[in-house]
Amino acid sequence: MLSYIIRRILYAVPILIGVNLITFLLFFMVNSPDDMARAQLGAKQVSPELIHSWKEARGYDKPLFINYESEGIQKATDTLFVQESLKLFSFDFGFSDANRDIGSDIKERMAPSLAIALPTFLIALITNISLALLLVLFRGSVLDTSMMILAVMIMSISGLFYIIAGQVLFSKMWHWVPISGYESGWDGVKFIILPVLIGVFAGIGSGVRWYRSIFLEQINQDYVRTARAKGLSELKVLFGHVLRNGMLPILTGVVVIIPSLFMGSLIMESFFGIPGLGSYTIDAIHAQDFAIVKAMVFLGSVLYIVGLILTDISYTLFDPRVKLS
Amino acid sequence: MKIILLWTDVMVWLLVISLLLWAWTVSRSPQVRKLWHTVFKSSIAMASAIILLFYLLFALLDSVHFRLATTTNESQSKTLQYGGITSLLDIMFSHNMKNTERTYSAPFATHEYTKSIVLNEHGVTKQEYLPLKYVGTGDDIIGKSIFAGFVGLVIVGVLILMHILWRGRRGLKSELPWRTAYLTFGVLIITFTWLYLLSYHYHVLGTDKVGGDVLYQSLKSIRTGVLIGILTTLIMLPVAVILGVSAGLFGGWVDDGIQYLYTTLSSIPGVLLIAAGVLSMQVMMDNNPTWFETTLERSDLRLLFLIIILGVTSWTGLCRLLRAETLKISQIEFVTAAKAFGVGKVTIIRRHIIPNLMHIILISVVLDFSGLVLAEAVLSYVGVGVDPTMHSWGNMINQARLEMAREPMVWWSLFSAFVFMFILVLAANLFSDRIQRVLDPRNKS
Amino acid sequence: MSTMLAVTDLNVSIGQDTLLKSISFEIQQGEIFALVGESGSGKSLTSLAIMRLLPDVISIRSGDITLHNKSLFVLPESQMQKIRGKQIAMIFQEPMSALNPVMTVGEQVAEVIKIHLGLKKDAVRKKVISLFEEVALKNPKERYGWYPHQLSGGQKQRVMIAIALACEPDLLIADEPTTALDVTIQAQVLTLLKKIQKDRGLSILFITHDMAIVAQMADKIAVMYHGEIVEQAERKTFFTHPQHPYTKSLLKDAMVKIEKHTIDIDKDTLLEVEGLKVHFPIKKGLLQRTVGYVKAVDDVTFSIKRGKTLALVGESGSGKSTIGQAILSLIPVTQGSVKFENINLVDLHDKALKVYRRKIQIVFQDPFSALNPRMNIGDIIREGMISLGVGPQTRVLQDEYIKTLLLKVELQADYLTRYPHEFSGGQRQRIGIARALAVEPELIICDEPTSALDVSVRMQVLKLLKKLQKESAVSYLFITHDLSIVPVIADEVAVMKEGKIVEQGLVSDVMHNPQNAYTQKLLLSAPKLPNNENI
């Protein structure tokens, strides 16, 4: 088990190097440090000296991949790529264009992101699974077919519609909750309710359909017939056998996104004015702040890889057939 | 007249040609014909397909670009000059393009939506609703509607009659739900004729902040949505199929390499990767202003890049699926039999593996389509979508979302964008459901 | 004796299609009632109807089923649940999938006790362990916490039987309980069932396709054919005086005579396998080092003469199929040689091998996966002809050639343009044979070609293979787990166990006078028909 985890973590290193290479290609080759300097310093007619000093201040004056001026191993290490990668690997994200420490910004903004993303995730999981089980219990009935049609319709509507409609109805017309904003602690609940509800509702269509298909696949298995032949009621069959087996494919889809919850939701946070990582990212994209986008890309992949490892570990915990070696 | 081929036009028409070729080759196999027959036996699938074709028709109409010749008498000799780039759809709606109002107006309104300060003949300032410039008195809307409905009915009647006669002459007896097909077709044509004929007298879906016609914008947006939906798949498909099949069939270091590639790519959050790509692309385009002459060409190039970026970022899921399935198929005995005959790997892929993967590919293409149409709206909101000057539902939503905060609300831009999108995505989802039910072998029992 | 279960005039249909037609039979207290028939005859459907577990799309048109003279059809579902598992219990064909993979086997037995008997936790556990002892599961206390995947097929079926017996049912429905098991395990499970039936005075509805098992187990027999019971009789009269022609043909197909076999020494040897070893590495640890080998085939030597058949017999996992693949050079050989016409194929590279690909062909076990569902029959057969350059090379002539081939394997010539899904298992197997024959091979490796087929079809395919051998002097390496068909097809037989050949020789010698203990056990385990004294 331990050796497996170590192997998985070691396997993550080349992937992160790959991620770095991709971001590096996008941010330093397509968009060279000179371009960045010019974009940052404003006018097109900035003097070469100014650009040089801007690059020097950020350490961007090194060659991209191979430093011909250096000796030995330094030829490869004293380059922009290696230096930038090393910084990222030590989670040193540097400074944004507005000269703020990105690392501490991220720390500060994780909590509001989680405050939205975690409840949305949990409530959605529970609602979707319960609804799916209900539909499987009444499979083939009018309830089932009409709910499935409803599910297709729900998933055919743009998520932006739910947000706008929700804000208009609940905040603007009925004044139940504030339209946007954020506060930490229990006072902040009133800000969270609407985005969480909308997030849950927007995902209900595809969610229920997915879980339902998983459970339906299980219900046609031989062991379910055995369970019925034992004299179990349909409810016991569902909860005792189908749910337990269905949890395994659900795990693969669900566990992997748990770490990514830290990243927050781009759209939700920006519409509701939540000062989380999602709105941070979106602001950075709008402001074309490459340093922040780069940091978020790296953070995102790290969290995804953590999610992959967690998925494998959860499999060993829940599926007796899987023994990691 | 000079035909202009934008980059995306080239791709669209290439796609149409290859689709037709594919349909032709496929239709020769009685087995596949039967499968498609089963797909269309469902009336929902039939109706969805007709709606999808209707959208596709608009996208194609909007993909024929040209410059119209205008003769001028500036000097002694007549010189031939070309106007701006327009499309067939623009010609159809040239009245709406030209008739730009001053500001907001509601659907079918005769007056502006907000009061303006005007100076009357007595020199007194007054707030009043100004009449719209290009809308008449607005009377007899019912009479015009009846006329439009009648015209629509005639068109529908003639077309359906022609089809029935054609079917009768071919002696085709099929259990396909033609009645549903005619009904859907009829509703679509009549609604469109009604909207179109009335658009000469009204702004049927209202106007936006700068007085642009919302119906025209919504229809123009169809091309953007449909193109992103299908061209992205076109880019992504060969990559996913080639890499997925090779990984599954060859194994060893090829498999390791491909797995590494897609794990790496899929580990980056999708929106961020797209954002990073689009941001870099913007810088690149800013640095190379010589690549395009007009704003239309610029926004077209940006659309092309966006499609490529979406394609590059979205092949991983399908690739993983195809790899697993190839692995499974290559263990099946008919592949072993082929190997025992000494059949080469390429032939095995072409003859045994790809045909047995077709259902997965097809299902994912149709499923991805609706996802991409929805994604366009989100990306445009984030600011990494299509060019802001381009007509798209995402841009319409983005520009109009603050209008909901106005008192009273300006709802029609948002509403139109959402409705146009909803119908397309719903049709695609229903169609993909049906395809999945028919083609997925797991559903056979 | 009282009537335990009575099925009267049961009609079952799906949509417009009738699945069961007027089924009537009675099972007495303490009786084993066998329902015999081929796949699709409706025997499993009948058992599900008794349990009221038919899928929703299938409906019962008329008839009644009574248990202890009380109708099961009038009961509400909640009452029926009290009967399932308590009064009527059931075991299924596939022990691999019939148990819940994520529950311990102990829990699965305990579950049925809890809902029907309402015992306390400790009492339940005790009961489960005693049940495990009754079904002869070793180390019952330890096994309680095991998961299904940790048990072998036979052990899983024992767990299934324990679940069925847990609440002391009046009637046990056993739906092909041993079909998926190896022959030695099958014998053990059948003995166990018989013993339990005697000890408890249980009634059993035994569903099977195997006449020999019927002979061994049943008191009364009903034969089903196309949803109807065509014959019903006591065991004795059934085997001595079968009435219905279908029953007669079933019994005839199940009986095999062994003729005296001889091998001409002067015939030349076609294939010589010497010291063949196929080992698969086991990888473990941080660096995925090879820590050991699975010895799938371990030092195997045999030879086949031209125009003769060698049967390779063994239970699952004995390595018999691996040998076939090694001869075809589809998997790497660890050590040893495969000489075909005195050329060692192991040394050859892809290109040089192509000549021999033509001469060695294969027919597979599963008729459903052996043919590409997206290709028509003509193209399937054509594939090898094109790849190996055999026969005519123009399409029109090829079509003619393929048509004669189809006639040769007793199919119709116009099947050429049809697709695999239009054919039955037996027909597909014939197509598979035609595909192999198309390249005029000298050796065909038949990898369990008949084990997925019904008894009557099985015989036809074997006869076809025999006929083709006479016509073209092709040799067969016939891989099978079923000793009973060996005399029909083979001249020589080699018995395999755990990657090694334990005994080989002429069929008549080995079958009449087995020397090796394992061969003896195999022969003893195989169920036999009563009046088949010459085995």
Phi then psi for residue C406, to 5 deg, are -60, -40
In this complex, the residue of B334, B347, B358 whose CB is nearest that of residue C372 is B334
Please give the pLDDT value at position C260: 63
Minimal-distance CA residue of chain C relative to A226: C98
Q: Confirm whether C110 is domain-assigned.
A: yes
Neighbours of A32 (CB within 10 A): 16
Which 226-245 residues of chain A touch chain C by CB within 8 A?
Answer: 226-233, 236, 240-241, 244-245
Contact residues, chain C, for B338 at CB < 8 Å:
383, 387
Residue A152, SS3?
helix
pLDDT tens digits along B346-363: 899 988 999 889 888 888
Pairing of strands C492-497, C269-284: unpaired
Cβ atoms of residues C440 and C361 within 8 Å: no
Place B81 in a pLDDT band, splitting at 50, 70 and 90: low
Which residues, in sequence order, are CB contacts of A319 under 8 Å at separation 6+? A248, C102
pLDDT tens digits along A183-237: 877 778 888 899 999 999 999 999 999 999 999 989 988 999 999 999 999 999 9
Tokens matching residue C483: 């000793």
Please choose, from the candidates C304, C311, C302, C312, the residue with its C-alpha nearest in 3D space to the C-alpha of residue C263: C304
pLDDT tens digits along C375-384: 889 999 999 8
Higher pLDDT: A204 or B203? It is: A204
pLDDT tens digits along C27-58: 999 899 999 988 888 888 999 999 999 888 88
In this complex, the residue of A222, A232, A233 whose CB is nearest that of residue C92 is A222
Please give the pLDDT value at position A119: 93
Angle at C229 between CA C223 and CA C232, to 5 degrees: 60
- Average pLDDT of span A229-256: 90
Contact residues, chain A, for B426 at CB < 8 Å:
152-153, 156
Q: Is C97 on the interface with A (CB under 8 A)?
A: yes
R_g of chain C computed on alpha carbons: 26
Cβ atoms of residues B170 and B32 within 8 Å: no
Give the CATH number for residue C234.
3.40.50.300
Same domain assignment for residues C282 and C247: no
Same domain assignment for residues C430 and C484: yes
Higher pLDDT: C122 or B209? It is: C122
Q: How far is CA B170 from CA B163, B164, B166, B174, B355, in A?
A: 11, 10, 6, 11, 31
Cβ atoms of residues A274 and A119 within 8 Å: no
pLDDT at C349 over 90: no
Minimal-distance CA residue of chain A relative to B262: A15
**Conformation bin of residue A140: beta by default, left when phi > 0, alpha when psi is -120 to 50:** left
Task: Tell me how far apart the alpha carbons of residues A170 and A173 are, in angstroms, rounded to a whole number.
Answer: 6
Please give the pLDDT value at position B78: 53
Contact A232 C163 (CB under 8 A): no
Q: Is B352 on the interface with C (CB under 8 A)?
A: yes
Minimal-distance CA residue of chain C relative to A241: C100
Same domain assignment for residues C324 and C384: yes
Task: Tell me how far apart the alpha carbons of residues B101 and B206 are, in angstroms, rounded to a whole number.
Answer: 10
- Average pLDDT of span B257-272: 89
Please give the pLDDT value at position B445: 43
Q: Confirm whether C263 is domain-assigned.
A: no
pLDDT at C209 over 80: yes
Please give the pLDDT value at position C534: 35
Q: Of A259-273, B276-290, B320-334, B417-431, which range is least confident? A: B276-290
**Conformation bin of residue C375: beta by default, left when phi > 0, alpha when psi is -120 to 50:** beta
Minimal-distance CA residue of chain A relative to C51: A229
- Mutation pick from C353, C360, C369, C446 vs chain B, by most beta carbons of B within 10 Å, is C369
Instruction: Show the domain range for C521.
Output: 269-525
Q: How far is CA A159 from CA A254, B105, B230, B422, C195, in A?
A: 20, 27, 21, 11, 65
Task: Tell me how far apart the alpha carbons of residues C379 and C374 are, in angstroms, rounded to a whole number.
Answer: 10
CATH topology of domain B223-439: MetI-like fold (1.10.3720)
Q: Confirm whether C535 is domain-assigned.
A: no
- Mutation pick from A25, A27, A29, A30 vs chain B, by most beta carbons of B within 10 Å, is A30
Place C526 in a pLDDT band, splitting at 50, 70 and 90: confident
Give the pTM.
0.87
- Mutation pick from C103, C113, C287 vs chain A, by most beta carbons of A within 10 Å, is C103
Q: Is C90 on the interface with A (CB under 8 A)?
A: yes
Give me the DSSP letters along B175-232: -S-HHHHHHHHHHHHHHHHHHHHHTTTS-TT-B-TT--BHHHHHHHHHHHHHHHHHHH
pLDDT tens digits along A262-319: 888 888 898 888 899 999 988 888 887 878 888 888 899 999 999 988 988 888 888 8
Please give the pLDDT value at position C160: 93
Cβ atoms of residues B426 and A153 within 8 Å: yes
Task: Tell me how far apart the alpha carbons of residues B60 and B87 are, in angstroms, rounded to a whole number.
Answer: 10
pLDDT at C262 over 70: no
CA distance B303 to chain A (A): 18
- Mutation pick from B264, B308, B437 vs chain A, by most beta carbons of A within 10 Å, is B264
CA distance B445 to chain C (A): 11
Q: Is B336 on the interface with C (CB under 8 A)?
A: yes
Contact residues, chain B, for A300 at CB < 8 Å:
267-269, 272
Tracing tokens 């007054």 back to the chain, one arrives at: B126
Contact B340 C330 (CB under 8 A): yes
Contact residues, chain B, for A161 at CB < 8 Å:
414, 418
Place A91 in a pLDDT band, splitting at 50, 70 and 90: confident
Please give the pLDDT value at position C535: 31
pLDDT at B73 over 60: no
Tokens matching residue C68: 């202890």
- For residue C32, the cross-strand partners are C204
Cβ atoms of residues B385 and B392 within 8 Å: yes
pLDDT at C532 over 50: no
- Mutation pick from A7, A9, A225, A230 vs chain C, by most beta carbons of C within 10 Å, is A230
pLDDT at B96 over 80: no
Place C261 in a pLDDT band, splitting at 50, 70 and 90: low
Buried/exposed code over B17-56 (b: 16+ C-beta within 10 A; e: otherwise): eeeeeeeeeeeeeebbeebbeebbebbbbbbbbbbbebbb
pLDDT at B437 over 80: yes
Same domain assignment for residues C51 and C121: yes
Q: How far is CA C88 from CA A139, A230, C4, in A?
A: 27, 9, 10
Contact C286 A236 (CB under 8 A): no
Q: Is A310 on the interface with B (CB under 8 A)?
A: no
Tokens matching residue C533: 């004294």
Same domain assignment for residues C328 and C210: no
Q: How far is CA A213 from CA A135, A150, B47, B320, B442, in A?
A: 10, 16, 25, 20, 11
Place B53 in a pLDDT band, splitting at 50, 70 and 90: very high
In this complex, the residue of A164, A281, A296 whose CB is nearest that of residue B401 is A164
pLDDT at C423 over 70: yes
High-pLDDT (> 70) share of chain C, %? 96
Contact B355 C372 (CB under 8 A): yes
Contact A158 B414 (CB under 8 A): no
Q: Provide the residue ranges of all domains of chain B, joining segments of one domain with +.
A: 223-439
Chosen domain end from C223, C254, C285: C254
Q: Confirm whether C531 is domain-assigned.
A: no
Residue C191, SS3?
helix
Count of domains in chain C?
2
Q: Is B281 on the interface with A (CB under 8 A)?
A: yes
Place C508 in a pLDDT band, splitting at 50, 70 and 90: confident
Phi then psi for residue B121, to 5 deg, are -65, -20
Tracing tokens 């306390």 back to the chain, one arrives at: C120
CA distance A127 to chain B (A): 22
Mean pLDDT comparison of B35-39, B175-179, C493-497, highest-scoring range: C493-497
Q: Confirm whether C79 is domain-assigned.
A: yes
Angle at C362 between CA C408 and CA B30, to 5 degrees: 65
Cβ atoms of residues A277 and A113 within 8 Å: yes
Task: Tell me how far apart the alpha carbons of residues A42 and B336 are, in angstroms, rounded to a whole number.
Answer: 65
pLDDT tens digits along A33-76: 777 777 667 656 677 777 777 777 777 777 777 777 777 677 76
Same domain assignment for residues C302 and C340: yes
Contact residues, chain B, for A27 at CB < 8 Å:
276, 280
Distance in Å from the first CA to the final CA of chain A: 6
Element (H, E) at B233: helix B214-250
Tokens matching residue B122: 């007595």
Contact A168 B404 (CB under 8 A): yes
Same domain assignment for residues C250 and C273: no
Please give the pLDDT value at position C433: 92
Contact C163 A226 (CB under 8 A): yes
Please choose, from the candidates B130, B86, B114, the residue with its C-alpha nearest in 3D space to the C-alpha of residue B208: B114
Residue C418, CB half-sphere, CA atoms under 13 Å: how many? 15
Which 363-392 residues of chain B touch chain A by CB within 8 A?
Answer: 370, 374, 377-378, 381-384
Rounded mean pLDDT of chain C?
88
Phi then psi for residue C410, to 5 deg, are 65, 40
Q: How far is CA C40 from CA C63, C224, C424, C426, C429, in A?
A: 21, 10, 12, 14, 18
Rounded mean pLDDT of chain B?
84
Please give the pLDDT value at position C179: 83
Place B384 in a pLDDT band, splitting at 50, 70 and 90: confident
Task: Tell me how far apart the alpha carbons of residues C106 and A194 are, in angstroms, rounded to a whole number.
Answer: 47
pLDDT at C533 over 50: no
- For residue C311, the cross-strand partners are C478, C493
Task: Tell me how far apart the alpha carbons of residues C524 and A216 are, in angstroms, rounded to a whole number.
Answer: 44
Same domain assignment for residues C40 and C169: yes
The DSSP letter of residue B132 is P
Task: Tell me how far apart the alpha carbons of residues B89 and C229 are, in angstroms, rounded to a whole number.
Answer: 70
Complex confidence, ipTM? 0.87
Q: Confirm whether C299 is domain-assigned.
A: yes
Q: Confirm whether C190 is domain-assigned.
A: yes
Strand order in the sheet with C70-71: C17-28, C3-14, C58-67, C70-71
Q: Of A46-50, B430-434, C474-478, which range is least confident? A: A46-50
In one-letter notation, the amino acid at residue B64 is V
Chosen domain end from C199, C228, C254: C254
Cβ atoms of residues B83 and B67 within 8 Å: yes
Q: Confirm whether C261 is domain-assigned.
A: no
CA distance B269 to chain A (A): 6
Which three-class secondary structure string do you get for C123-142? HHHHHHHHHHHHCCCCCHHH
Place B97 in a pLDDT band, splitting at 50, 70 and 90: confident
pLDDT at B385 over 90: no
Minimal-distance CA residue of chain C relative to B35: C374
Neighbours of A125 (CB within 10 A): 16
Same domain assignment for residues C465 and C349: yes
Q: What is the largest CA-CA distance in chain B?
A: 100
Element (H, E) at C492: strand C492-497
pLDDT at B204 over 90: no
